[in-house]
Amino acid sequence: MAETCIEDYPADKPFPSALFFKPVGGRPLHVVLAFDSNGEKAYVITAYEPTFMTQSVCPICEGTKHQGTTTFTVDYTDGVLVVRNVPATICSQCGEDWIADADASRLEQITNVARGEKRQFEVGDYSLATAV
């Protein structure tokens, strides 16, 4: 899997930067890179392994996190995709959910197939969904 840009920071100084995600050895890695104005050089600002997935306390409300399922929805240019029963870590207090890297990669593949086939509306169950 290639790296995924999570967030852009175009106003950062002295150069615009971005937060990237990539699994390395089955573990998540976040890297912030800054790019010079010519686009010739990238500077590593920081790299770290995020811990929010492994902590049992919700970083948003300090509720208790547990394993469960969630519904993944994406609205893309040509349609809407809904995937039910996606494995996730869920906060029992605020309901925030986190999808593991492998499942997020699979959802990205499923979304790309739906987008490529210009499906206008698709609802599926995660356990039955195929990416290819």
Q: Which residues of 15-37 are buried (b: 16+ CB within 10 A; e: fewer)?
A: bbbbbbbebeeeebbebbbbeee
- pLDDT tens string 37-48: 887 899 999 998
**Which residues in the chain come in under a pLDDT of 50?**
1, 132
Ordered by start, the domain boundaries in the chain are 4-48, 65-125
Range 65-125 has CATH code 3.10.20: yes
